[in-house]
Amino acid sequence: MILIVDDDASVRTSLTFLLKRAGLEPEAVAGPKEALDIVRKTAPRLILMDMNFTLTTTGEEGIQLLRQVKIFQPDVPVILMTAWGSIALAVKGMQAGAFDFITKPWNNLMLLKSIHTALDLTEQRREEEHPLNRREADRKLGFDKIIGQSAPLMEVLSTVSRIAPTNASVLITGESGTGKELIAEAIHANSQRTKGPFVKVNLGGLSQSLFESEMFGHKKGAFTDAYIDRTGRFELANKGTIFLDEIGELELSCQVKLLRVLQDQTFEVLGDSRPRKVDIRVVSATNRNLQEMVAQRTFREDLFYRINLITIHLPALRERKEDIPLLVRYFANLQAEVNGWTPVQFSSEALTFLQKLPYPGNIRELKNLVERTILVSGKERLEAADFEQQYEHTARGTVEIPAVLSGLTLEESEKQLILQALKTYDGNLSRVASSLGVSRAALYRRLEKYNISIDK
């Protein structure tokens, strides 16, 4: 049973009709008293709740009812319904335990999607969980590109296996180089949208001026240099998944525009006032602490709650050291396959040495170290000394201004400095940005400007 709580009879009628047509069993009541009478006796599958039940518009009645419901039925998901003017209040409701919030007037498809997502996730939590077996995970779920079998990694893969079939928005957190994009791809591959597009967007590389054109598209003549129509990333991702990487780097003005699209999945192409609808799943990723950014008012709290219905935190490589030998052999075999070589062997001392390193650049740093050592040494069996030599060479590395920069233009010099820094710090963008004295967002814009690609 889906419990509807709203003092407006027309709203109750509309929602009842909508849910019945969707094959659900609704029951509608007018206010908190009737709602509490029900939740004291039985547990609804879900509660759809307005936030105001009298002439007041503070929403405190809804917050109070939500807290009371959570006392009697803590596991029942609650979806709040609110107007755009009270989004801050809806965020307060999320903090009090609500599953989601929907704005009025609601979009039927978005409302039903949120309801089904809540029901799916709740049902999965109630089912008995069995430890995920690594071999079965590779065979059934296609996790073969994600290397390792440590407890922290298996916990991540177990979460992915449970939430992938739903439409829940997912926020993937973790340090740079931990493999967030691979996890996003695994979520898409095991979802009901697997036959749809998987569109990746590096938000850190988008300036404010390019954001709308890149994300929403534009019509020919919409602005200077708009010589042809452009399809935006949201439209390209229709019926599939959009992966918003480095979302913590997005400027505040762009966060507002992104929130509008995620709220009702409608947008307007630049130069065309006709709203367009899309059906997408949103997976985001960041190496920033978004909760701290919310407290510092550099990231919108309402956007934060919109993107992290489910949060998956990827452990740093130093937290899963038992996976390092598996990763080392995987990278070595890949390189041998690409070059047609015999796979390199590793002494136990070499693997022990590699397990002791701190890896601020995580898996990406390990990959670069393994590949560079294989190429430089030219040996069929690598010892600890081989890796130690290459590691110390990199650790001592500093970004020095090459002599060849003399005579180059300012832009050419800047490009060469960036390339030198990327080489020195094995592609670790945080360290590269720090060494060059720029922010990550500014670094991304320069990478895009000079067409410098970075392997994730």
Q: Would residue 133 count as lying in a domain?
A: no
- Select from 258, 282, 313 the last residue of a domain: 313
Cα 244 to Cα 118, 216, 269, 311: the distances in Å are: 22, 14, 19, 14
* Cα separation, 356 vs 379, whole angstroms: 22
pLDDT tens-place string over residues 22-57:
999 999 999 889 999 999 989 999 999 988 876 666
Cβ of 415: how many Cβ atoms within 10 Å? 18
CATH number at residue 179: 3.40.50.300
The stretch 224-232 carries a mean pLDDT of 79
Q: How many domains does the chain have?
A: 4
Percent of the chain residues past pLDDT 90, beyond the cut: 43
Q: Would residue 415 count as lying in a domain?
A: yes
Give residue for tokens 């079939």: 165
pLDDT tens-place string over residues 353-398:
999 999 988 998 999 899 889 988 888 899 999 999 888 766 655 4
Give residue for tokens 């895009």: 448
Mean pLDDT lowest among 44-53, 121-130, 297-306, 409-418: 121-130
CATH number at residue 349: 1.10.8.60
- 173 and 225 in one domain? yes
Mean pLDDT lowest among 118-127, 228-237, 306-315, 336-345: 118-127
- 183 and 277 in one domain? yes
Structure tokens at 52: 């105001």
Q: Is there a contact between 146 and 186 (Cβ–Cβ < 8 Å)?
A: yes
Beta strand residue intervals within 214-294, DSSP E? 217-218, 230-231, 241-245, 266-268, 275-277, 281-286
- 168 and 59 in one domain? no
| Beta strands 46-50 and 2-5, pairing class | parallel
- 89 and 210 in one domain? no
294 or 436: which leads in pLDDT:
294
Q: Is there a contact between 244 and 282 (Cβ–Cβ < 8 Å)?
A: yes
**For residue 270, what are the β-bridge partners?**
218
Residues sharing a CB contact under 8 Å with residue 188, sequence separation 6 or more, in sequence order:
164, 194, 198, 240, 241, 243, 281, 283
pLDDT at 410 over 80: no
Q: Would residue 428 count as lying in a domain?
A: yes
Q: What is the pLDDT of residue 300?
A: 93
- 209 and 263 in one domain? yes
User: Of the ranges 74-83, 293-302, 399-408, which is most confident?
Assistant: 293-302
- 152 and 265 in one domain? yes
pLDDT at 333 over 90: yes
Q: Is there a contact between 44 and 3 (Cβ–Cβ < 8 Å)?
A: yes
pLDDT at 118 over 70: yes
Q: Would residue 455 count as lying in a domain?
A: no
- 275 and 259 in one domain? yes
- 409 and 323 in one domain? no
Helices (H), 26-144: 32-41, 60-72, 87-95, 108-126, 134-141
- 299 and 203 in one domain? yes
- 195 and 254 in one domain? yes
User: Of the ranges 134-148, 174-188, 267-281, 368-382, which is most confident?
Assistant: 174-188
The stretch 256-260 carries a mean pLDDT of 89
Confidence band of 187 (pLDDT split at 50, 70, 90): very high
- 21 and 100 in one domain? yes
pTM: 0.75
Beta strand residue intervals within 177-319, DSSP E? 198-202, 217-218, 230-231, 241-245, 266-268, 275-277, 281-286, 310-313
SS3 (DSSP) at 118: helix
pLDDT tens-place string over residues 318-329:
999 999 999 999
- For residue 99, what are the domain limits? 2-126
Residues sharing a CB contact under 8 Å with residue 349, sequence separation 6 or more, in sequence order:
383, 384
Q: Would residue 456 count as lying in a domain?
A: no
Cβ of 47: how many Cβ atoms within 10 Å? 26
pLDDT tens-place string over residues 57-98:
666 778 888 989 988 888 899 998 876 556 677 778 888 888
314 or 408: which leads in pLDDT:
314
- 273 and 243 in one domain? yes
Q: What is the pLDDT of residue 285?
A: 96
CATH number at residue 103: 3.40.50.2300
Q: Would residue 199 count as lying in a domain?
A: yes
Helix axes 151-163, 108-126, angle to 10 degrees: 130
Looking at every residue in the chain, the average pLDDT score rounds to 86
